[in-house]
Amino acid sequence: MCGILGYVGPRQAAPLILDGLRRLEYRGYDSAGIAVVADSVEDRVIDVRKAKGKIERLAGILDREPLAGTVGIGHTRWATHGVPSDANAHPHTDASGRFVVVHNGIIENFHELKRSLLADGHVFTSETDTEVLAHLVAEEYDGNLVEAVRRAVRHAAGAYALVVMSAAEPERIVAVRKVSPLVVGLGDGETFLASDIPAVLQHTRDFLVIEDGELVVIDAAGATVELIGGGVVHRPVLHVDWDAEQAEKGGFEHFMLKEIYEQPAVVTETVSGRLEASGEVWLEGVGFDDAFAASIEHLWITACGTAYHAGLVGREIFSRLLRIPTSVEFAHEMRYADPLVTAPSLTVAISQSGETADTLAAARLARSRGSRLLALTNVVGSTLSREADDILYTRAGPEISVASTKAYSAMLVAQYLLALRIGRVRGVVDADLSERIGRGLHALPGQVEAVLGDEESVAKAAIQIADAQDVYFIGRGLDYAVAMEGSLKLKEISYLHSEAMPAGELKHGTLALVTKGTPVIVVLTQGAVYDKTMSAVQEVKARGATVLAVGYEDDSSIGSFADDVLRIPRTDDLLSPVTAIVPLQLLAYHVARLRGHDIDQPRNLAKSVTVE
């Protein structure tokens, strides 16, 4: 969840690091800090500036108390151990101030380590697990920083990325990856470290992706990658073709709105080159053969949050099209359960970042039990993509807002493509059905564009919801899956209490909470259960609810019961989740805007959940 930046080169480090940290704000944070090796050659010291709150507070401190030096590290923290405070902000130093660290993740045995260090006379100034690492490195140092770091991390249990800098060896930075992501950016006479590629994309397009269990040393000339246990690693350079402007707001007030409007392009990109007009599908990175596709007896989907909701749509897609029993499991539940995963099965692990700790653990569990693992992710070179047997990239591009929108849509489209790929082999999706769905997929970008063209109607509807205390979302089948994601978007950024349920579940308890004026949002696109869902709408209307519906533009019945209708273009019912979610994303955005909240960085949340 935290952001890491490091720099070694000829330029002043602090401004570069501060800019990079700003580009990592999407990961969520509660404090920020920078440490720089001072320029003074006579008496090398490390100067630290850090502060609770947004990066702008740190920037103000740096304006008053500048840092001068060409080697430095920086960090944005999301609290796990110790409350957000100036003292608990990273970077952390040992008692001498000559060893400084930043760290993402959790040190699981830090209490034990801290007790031992306290007994040896070490003095701590924070409540964090991270500070333990600074003291451990200082304790182990005998003139070689790399070996000190190597020995220190042998004592530390957990999942983390650690970056270490020392006044004793001021020309280099040492970093270790144990699960949490870390990349190296290679410049001309300068080298960068970061927890995510967009942080330094404006400076270089050449990267080394550091793997789990590796140590990297950077200096101005480049980087050396080794195993933590010893041994040089030869890693090819990854060249990134992203346009740096993708990571900017592009004239929109918020990243979230920009990313909502990028969805037509994202859907196009996800389908591009993968789907023929005939419905034939080619998925680069998906390497299983026809024999395996024909042999699948069970399909598992595991994910968290928005990715889980995408998986709910996937379950309907795979069950309906492939007639394969499909289970969708929260990754944090699956990893501690005893799931009946066996071969021959396919597990689809969905994660925008490819670094979600719970999803990685569940995916590893499924694979250990003989299931073939397919990674559905947005990030090239992510841990999930490297550990999977097959990879299906969503091609959504960098997503900055914590509340996911375009990545979710891309996850849906990718699952349709996967279903077509498997269905043609198994003989359950014939040429006519494949061509029909293929036409529908190619039409989706224009249909999403049409929904976006009616944003004004959504903004007006938001006014009726902004002052509510409770909001309920209902739907059936695929509409229920969309309702789940719509409800999550609303609660994430507006802080309204919101919950979603199948429409038929209302009468089993929740109807008692529906009173005059209670907003109920219904998604109505599934013809097979349309009448049943309309019955639920009539039930809440009879109790005075204010009903906002999402329905097809040619649905003449829905207006008789709903107080307001957000219209979407008619499409195949199976594909409707891609268009139906868009007005709900916009609704959440406009409600949050009316309520005056921080839309791109909602409280207590982070973009990439890399700890359990």
Is 52 labeled as catalytic in the residue annotation? Answer: no
Instruction: Check if the beta carbon of residue 21 is closer than 8 Å to that of residue 32.
Output: yes
Q: What is the 3-state secondary structure (H, E, C) of 68-127?
A: CCCEEEEEEECCCCCCCCCCCCCCEECCCCCEEEEEEEEECCHHHHHHHHHHCCCCCCCC
**Whole-angstrom Cα distance, residue 255 to residue 589?**
11
Q: Provide the greatest CA pair distance for the chain.
A: 81
Upper half-sphere CA count for residue 177 (Cβ side, 13 Å): 26
CA nearest neighbour of 466 among 593, 600, 601: 593
- What is the spatial distance between Cα 449 and Cα 409, in angstroms, rounded to a whole number? 13
Catalytic residue (choose from 50, 114, 406, 607): 607
Which residues are within 8 A (CB) of 257 and not within 5 positions of it... i.e. 6 or more apart? 589, 599
* Phi and psi angles of residue 279, each rounded to the nearest 5 degrees, phi first: 95, -5
CA–CA distances in Å: residue 89 to residues 10, 53, 92, 93, 251: 27, 9, 8, 11, 32
Long-range CB pairs of 41-46, under 8 A, 24+ apart, other chains included: 44/167, 44/168, 44/170, 45/97, 45/98, 45/167, 46/93, 46/97, 46/98, 46/100, 46/165, 46/166, 46/167
Phi, psi of 472 (to 5 degrees): -120, 135
Of the residues 2, 50, 52, 406, which is catalytic?
2
Element containing residue 447 per DSSP (H, E): helix 431-452
Q: Which two tokens stand for residue 504?
A: 């038929």
Tell me whether residue 607 is one of the annotated catalytic residues: yes
3-state secondary structure 130-177: HHHHHHHHHHHCCCCHHHHHHHHHHHCCEEEEEEEEECCCCCCEEEEE
| HEC secondary structure over 338-377 | CCCCCCCEEEEEEECCCCCHHHHHHHHHHHHCCCEEEEEE
What does the alpha-carbon distance between residue 204 and residue 376 come to, in Å, rounded to a whole number?
27
Distance (Å, whole) CA 413 – CA 92: 44
How far apart, in whole angstroms, are the C-alpha atoms of residue 388 and residue 384?
Answer: 6
* SS3 state of residue 291: helix
Tokens for 228, please give them.
């933590």
Give the integer Cα–Cα distance in Å for 319 and 432.
19
Which ranges of 453-518 does DSSP label H, i.e. alpha helix? 455-463, 478-494
Measured CA angle at 383 (ends 378, 386), to 5 deg: 90
Mind telling me the catalytic residues?
2, 607
